[in-house]
């Protein structure tokens, strides 16, 4: 009994001594402090974990941006659809700096004016190549006018599927004409329908050159393009320069079909003088009626005056002087004269000459021979 009492007294004295040492704090406070300290620790741990999660998220975003960094090089023209490209698929974008290139703008204007001239009877007016040609309607009419063949397509197509089907038919017809010449096709249904300007211009240039459009194409026009390609799930960009036009002579050679005059000049140049003499005799037979005489075919027909007068003589009518330049002073006036002579030939039932007016004006012998030989074949028996 005495032992238990001694222990109780000892515990009480110990508590009293602790209270004396901490007179301002109640005896239950230390337990509460431990509880609060535990809660703060838990809160602190939660905040730390959230901070670490945010750091991980930021790191992942940084990695994602690093993967897609090549996209930033492509500039503002990059579209959301590029991220949806299939593996190894690519898309070509015109560099924004080339859009403002004066030579490229001039080329577009020449092509637009040519299309509007060809389709004037259809009351079709093109103002923007991208917006007006993507659905295939204008391209269909243009090809039909140039080739003289009607395509089996619906006249009006509003749906995307219908538009692409029409484009497919038109491009197959165009490619069929150009394939024998081993022409590089820089266009496709998707590139045209997606309003990609560069393939559209390539296509129009091919048609203009092949069908000898009566226009003067600006020389040495090139543009910068950005090629976006998906490889191993990553979009990559490459900057390239595309040449659209070269010199007039080179473009003419790329168009010209091999014919009797090519064979003559390549394999029997000794007979060329015989052909030239025959043609000179033919044209002088008629031009002599106006006291005119030709001695040099390539130079004396280059301004178009003799061609216009010759057509009037062959068809027995007077050509009003206000329709052409009797004394042309520059390249454009000469081209006008030759183009007008070509129109008179077509009015007389002849096919449109394969030569370009510019080729005749530029003293291209084969082009001039082709035009005169066509007249000789159709009017050799005329008095």
d(CA 209, CA 134): 21
Beta-carbon contacts of residue 243 (< 8 Å; ≥ 6 apart): 220, 221, 222
* b/e 175-202 (16+ beta carbons within 10 angstroms → b): eebbeeeebeebbebebbbebbbbbbbb
pLDDT per residue as tens digits for the range 135-182: 999 999 999 988 888 888 877 767 889 899 999 999 999 988 877 566
Q: Is the pLDDT of residue 304 over 80?
A: yes
pLDDT per residue as tens digits for the range 177-228: 877 566 678 899 999 999 999 999 999 999 988 887 878 888 889 999 888 8
The alpha carbon of 7 is separated from its chain's Cα centroid by a whole number of angstroms, namely 103
Global model pTM greater than 0.85: no
In a 13 Å sphere around the CA of 129, the CA atoms on its Cβ side amount to 24
> Which of 62, 74, 63, 61 has its CA nearest to residue 229?
74
pLDDT of amino acid 363:
85
Token pair in block for residue 259: 């014919």
The one-character DSSP state at 354 is S
pLDDT per residue as tens digits for the range 95-104: 888 888 999 9
């Amino acid at each position: 009994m005495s032992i238990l009492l001694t222990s109780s007294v000892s515990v009480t004295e110990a508590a009293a001594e602790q209270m004396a040492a901490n007179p301002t704090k109640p005896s239950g406070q230390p337990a509460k402090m431990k509880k609060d300290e535990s809660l703060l620790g838990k809160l602190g741990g939660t905040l730390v974990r959230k901070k670490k999660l945010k750091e991980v998220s930021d790191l992942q975003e940084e990695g994602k941006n690093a993967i897609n960094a090549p996209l930033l090089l492509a500039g503002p023209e990059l579209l959301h659809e590029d991220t949806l490209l299939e593996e190894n698929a690519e898309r070509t974008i015109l560099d924004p700096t080339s859009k403002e290139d004066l030579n490229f703008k001039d080329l577009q204007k020449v092509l637009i004016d040519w299309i509007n001239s060809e389709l004037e009877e259809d009351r079709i007016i093109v103002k923007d190549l991208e917006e007006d040609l993507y659905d295939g309607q204008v391209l269909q009419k243009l090809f039909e006018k140039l080739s003289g063949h009607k395509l089996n397509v619906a006249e009006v197509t509003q749906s995307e599927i219908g538009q692409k089907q029409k484009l497919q038919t038109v491009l197959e017809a165009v490619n069929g004409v150009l394939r024998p010449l081993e022409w590089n096709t820089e266009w496709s249904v998707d590139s045209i329908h997606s309003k990609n300007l560069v393939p559209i211009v390539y296509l129009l240039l091919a048609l203009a050159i092949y069908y000898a459009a009566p226009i003067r194409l600006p020389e040495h026009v090139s543009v910068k393009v950005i090629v976006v390609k998906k490889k191993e799930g990553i979009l990559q960009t490459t900057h390239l320069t595309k040449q659209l036009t070269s010199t007039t002579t080179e473009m003419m050679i790329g168009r010209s079909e091999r014919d009797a005059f090519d064979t003559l000049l390549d394999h029997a140049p000794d007979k060329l003088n015989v052909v030239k003499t025959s043609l000179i005799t033919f044209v002088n037979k008629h031009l002599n009626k106006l006291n005119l005489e030709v001695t040099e075919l390539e130079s004396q027909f280059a301004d178009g005056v003799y061609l216009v007068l010759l057509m009037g003589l062959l068809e027995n009518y007077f050509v009003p002087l206000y329709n052409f330049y009797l004394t042309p002073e520059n390249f454009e006036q000469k081209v006008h004269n030759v183009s007008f002579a070509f129109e008179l030939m077509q009015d007389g039932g002849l096919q449109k000459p394969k030569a370009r007016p510019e080729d005749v004006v530029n003293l291209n012998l084969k082009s001039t021979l082709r035009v005169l030989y066509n007249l000789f074949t159709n009017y050799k028996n005329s008095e």
